[in-house]
Amino acid sequence: MCFGPLFKRNPEACRIYRTDSTDSRYHERRRSSVKRHMKNAPAPTPGKKGKRYPKVYRNGEGHYKTKSTLYEYPTKDYPYSTQNYKGRGRLTSPGGTVTDVDPEYTRTITDRRKNIQGVSYHPHGNKKGFKRAEEIYPASSSSRLRRRCRG
């Protein structure tokens, strides 16, 4: 699990495979970046329903092997306090112009205490489904160790 507490060795990053308008087949999210975004994010509200972040992650794909409630957060700086009822963040410029902020496709999955359980993402062209990001471990003596995130 990306950045989770169950592994003796923590991954240094997660690899996200997308084939949208980018030239690369994938991009990597560094562990430090994900942790920084989570540090600035609010704690989940138990029992809260709706589309505002953080929201309950239903784990329909079975990527995370836990019975506890999981929550999803956009894996980016996000204006949580100015979200509308659909979970779209809003920023207001000094001139008064309001801009919607897209949560994009990458999500950090946590437990109720904001302990990171993994990173998931919407595959290109599929806004409802999720895939779990691949873990990237620190380099070993001859090659990088990889493990598909399965929980």
**Is 34 part of a structural domain of the chain?**
yes
**Is 52 part of a structural domain of the chain?**
yes
**Is 132 part of a structural domain of the chain?**
yes
**Is 51 part of a structural domain of the chain?**
yes
Structure tokens at 12: 């240094």
pTM score > 0.85 for this model? Answer: no
How would you write the pLDDT of the chain (151 residues) with one tens digit per residue? 455 554 446 778 888 887 655 556 777 888 889 999 999 899 998 888 889 999 999 998 999 998 899 999 999 999 999 998 888 899 999 999 999 998 888 999 999 999 999 999 988 888 888 999 987 887 753 344 444 443 3
**Is 95 part of a structural domain of the chain?**
no
**Is 100 part of a structural domain of the chain?**
no
Question: H/E/C letters for each residue in the chain?
Answer: CCCCCCCCCCCCEEEEECCCCCCCCEEEEEHHHHHHHHHCCCCCCCCCCCCCCCEEECCCCCCCCCCCCEEEEECCCCCHHHCCCCCCEEEECCCCCEEEECCCCEEEEECCCCCEEEEEECCCCCCCCCEECEEEEEECCCCEEEEECCC
Q: Which domain holds residue 139?
A: 13-75+106-148
